Amino acid sequence: MPVLRSTLLVDAPIRTVAAAVRDVAVVRATGPRAGTTARGDLLCTGDVLSFQVPLVPGVRVPMRTKIVRVDDTGLASELASSDQLVRELRHDITLAETGAGTLVTDSVHWVSPWGPLGSVADVLLMRRFVLRLLRRRGAALRSRIAELVAAPVVVAAAIVHKGHVLAQQRSYPEHLAGRWELPGGRVEAGETDEAALVRECVEELGARIRVGERVGPDVPLPKGYVMRTYAATLADGDELPEALEHLAVEWVPADRIAELDWLDPDIALLPDIGELLTAAP
């Protein structure tokens, strides 16, 4: 069974790299006909990727893979349906923090359906296709990471209280009114992420919070922003948040998170928020 491994070292935090490897723009940059079914900017489990593998000049064979795992340390995809070129295929992307940056390791293995002829096809077709795809992905990854590192930041708080997370319902602009988001907002010049979150929660909820660990990947937002999410708790459990600027606030348990109509960028964070609730004491 052919296995192809390649590594790439990038000088950026692992959560930024985790966002870039899930970014649909990076997937599209791997080839002129590469596409995804992702709803937001980041790939989620279940999303399907489509590629066109060049067979001979002018003839391309479609191939579809499906994301089967996404977490803080990378993602994995497998063949979505058996096709003419490969019978099985799995692509693992693993991220690891090193002293010199984040190491991205790709491991792609596949089984060809063509018996002895398969090994020739492996070398001539699949190997070349996978290598080219990884080379283009590497270049796209580096430029997307550079954009995300330089992007202005929106911070969001996953405030956990008694096994529930606080969601707030937007009142404006018209096209977003009624949809749900986490408390937070833009980080102002000279402000830390933590100070911005504390300020935003007082303004939006009239509540003081304690800011904890990062949750999930960096999430690209429209207009070039990037959102960083932090776990948080109420500084005073008796001081319950109110919707001062929003239509409503709601404490949501893990099994109801997926029922809310979240802003598109937040959808990629929902599994991480679910895990945070499950892990909460």
Ligand X SMILES: Nc1nc2c([nH]c(=O)n2[C@H]2C[C@H](O)[C@@H](COP(=O)(O)OP(=O)(O)OP(=O)(O)O)O2)c(=O)[nH]1
Residues of the shown chain interacting with ligand X in the complex, contacts defined by CB under 6 A: 154, 156, 181-182, 184-186, 221, 227, 263, 265-266
Residues in the chain: 281
**Whole-number minimum distance, CB 42 to ligand X, in Å?**
12
Contact between residue 248 and residue 168 where contact means Cβ atoms under 8 Å apart: yes
Instruction: Tell me whether residue 13 or residue 40 sits nearer to ligand X (CB atom).
Output: 40
Q: Which is nearer to ligand X, 63 or 198 (CB)?
A: 198
The residue among 120 and 258 lying less far from ligand X, judged by its C-beta, is 258
Cα Rg of the chain, angstroms: 21
SS3 state of residue 157: strand
205 is written with which tokens? 């909820």
The residue nearest ligand X at its CB is 185
User: From the CB of 233, what's the least distance to ligand X, in Å?
Assistant: 18
Nearer to ligand X, 74 or 220 (CB): 220
| CB of 75 closer than 8 Å to CB of 97 | no
Peptide bond into 54 cis (omega under 30): no
Task: State which amino acid sits at residue 163.
Answer: G
The secondary element (H helix, E strand) that includes residue 204 is: helix 193-205
What single DSSP character describes residue 262?
B
Give the nearest distance from C-beta 278 to ligand X in angstroms.
Answer: 20
**Closer residue to ligand X in complex, CB, 142/164:** 164
CB-based contact 91:106 (threshold 8 Å)? yes
Q: What is the 3-state secondary structure (H, E, C) of 222-240?
A: HHHCEEEEEEEEECCCCCC
- Report the nearest approach of ligand X to the CB of residue 168 (Å): 8
Nearer of residues 20 and 156 to ligand X, judged by Cβ: 156
CB of 39 to ligand X, least distance (A): 13
CA distance 48 to 67: 6
Name which of 104 and 273 has its Cβ closer to ligand X: 273
Beta carbons of 1 and 122 less than 8 angstroms apart? no
CB of 98 to ligand X, least distance (A): 31
Task: Give me the least distance between CB of 13 and ligand X, in Å please.
Answer: 20
